[in-house]
């Protein structure tokens, strides 16, 4: 069995990270003021946030094109890959998961296994890179899927948005929550609901500082009794300086946790807006292996 992995551009993994791993990325289209761009191809993250700030219309996203997904599968089949793991952002955010399920019925395609990450951005990227490394090393499909289960089950994230209106307009949270956020000028803390895997409001804070401090408390509570090591990410939407400062603070308060920096690119930034900051974590398989 020769296994490859396909993901979408919201995994935000670089060509350097992918290297020679059997990983392919399909791009997510963005529409800004009537112009269509392809995330990671013809618009940079910095350019996107600049365009969004000056846009007359609310930017929109579309799921990766079916033709692009089909083409990559066909190319992989021609290269000798008989099994392709489709590992995209959460099925509650995009329809690409269901599109891939439909494509798996096509007899001209290689064996397609669709796995719901139930998450996005850096955590999706970690899952994709892990699956790619295992596939390159010759792991079986069952071994890879079992490892993905471990990562998915250990994922946690809280994020603080600067303005709820982006999520409201994109249909990701209710308009009632958006109205309250605008009225009181609060900083909402959101998370992925563990049951529905949808983005939901969790708490409210009066200032960004208080919101980030509360996220630190929530992180400490969620991770204090874990029987496995974790790694964590500070993730920002065009707020590199505040994110760097928060990272330094977290590293001092949690010296036993390795922290990394990541970012929210155009496709996800369309929905959460500039200024969003997130703290996310996941099981650290490398550290766990070293312990044993």
- Alpha-helical regions (H) of the chain: 15-18, 45-54, 66-78, 96-103, 121-136, 141-153, 165-169, 175-184, 208-223, 240-253, 266-272, 285-291
Mean pLDDT value across the chain: 91
- pLDDT tens-digit map of 236-246: 999 999 999 99
Q: What is the mean pLDDT of residues 11-30?
A: 97
- pLDDT tens-digit map of 263-285: 999 999 988 889 999 999 999 99
- pLDDT tens-digit map of 42-79: 999 999 999 999 988 888 999 999 999 999 999 999 99
The predicted pLDDT at position 196 comes to 85
Question: What letter does residue 258 receive in the DSSP assignment?
Answer: -
- Report whether 178 contacts 199 (CB < 8 A): no
- Report whether 199 contacts 172 (CB < 8 A): yes
Give the number of C-alpha atoms closer than 13 A to the C-alpha of residue 33, restricted to the C-beta side: 8
Q: How many other CB atoms are found less than 10 A from the CB of residue 173?
A: 21
Q: How confident is the model at residue 289 (pLDDT cuts 50, 70, 90)?
A: confident
The predicted pLDDT at position 180 comes to 53
Distance CA 246, CA 22 (A): 34
Question: What letter does residue 55 receive in the DSSP assignment?
Answer: -
Architecture of domain 156-291: 2-Layer Sandwich (3.30)
> What letters, b where the CB count within 10 A reaches 16 and e where it falls short, cover 118-148?
bbbbbbbbbbbbbbbbbbbeebeeeebeebb
CA distances from 154 to 159, 194, 227, 231 (A): 17, 11, 11, 10
151 φ, ψ to 5°?
Answer: -65, -50
Helix, strand, or coil here: 51? helix
Architecture of domain 3-27+63-153: 3-Layer(aba) Sandwich (3.40)
Domain range list for the chain: 3-27+63-153, 156-291
């Amino acid at each position: 069995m020769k296994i490859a992995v396909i993901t979408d551009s919201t995994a935000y993994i670089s060509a350097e990270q992918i290297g020679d791993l059997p990983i392919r990325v399909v791009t997510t289209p963005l529409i800004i003021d009537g112009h269509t761009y392809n995330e990671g191809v013809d618009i940079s993250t910095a350019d996107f946030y600049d365009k969004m700030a000056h846009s007359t219309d609310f930017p929109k996203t579309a799921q990766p094109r079916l033709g692009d997904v089909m083409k990559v599968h066909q190319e992989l089949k021609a290269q000798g890959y008989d099994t392709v793991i489709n590992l995209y952002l959460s099925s509650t955010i995009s329809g690409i998961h269901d599109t891939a399920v439909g494509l798996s019925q096509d007899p001209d395609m290689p064996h397609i296994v669709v796995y719901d990450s139930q998450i996005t951005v850096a955590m999706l990227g970690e899952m994709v890179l892990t699956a790619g490394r295992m596939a390159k090393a010759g792991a079986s499909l069952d071994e890879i899927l079992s490892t993905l289960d471990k990562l998915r089950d250990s994922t946690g994230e809280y994020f603080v948005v600067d303005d709820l209106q982006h999520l409201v307009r994109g249909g990701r949270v209710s308009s009632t929550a958006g109205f309250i956020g605008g009225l009181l000028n609060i900083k909402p803390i959101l998370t992925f609901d563990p049951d529905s895997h949808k983005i939901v409001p969790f708490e409210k804070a009066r200032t960004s500082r208080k919101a980030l401090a509360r996220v630190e408390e929530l992180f400490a509570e969620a991770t204090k009794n874990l029987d496995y090591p974790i790694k964590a990410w500070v993730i920002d939407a065009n707020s590199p300086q505040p994110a760097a400062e928060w990272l330094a603070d977290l590293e001092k308060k949690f010296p036993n946790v390795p922290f990394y920096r990541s970012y929210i690119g155009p496709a996800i930034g369309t929905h959460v807006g500039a200024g969003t900051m997130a703290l996310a974590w996941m099981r650290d398989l490398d550290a766990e292996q070293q312990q044993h």
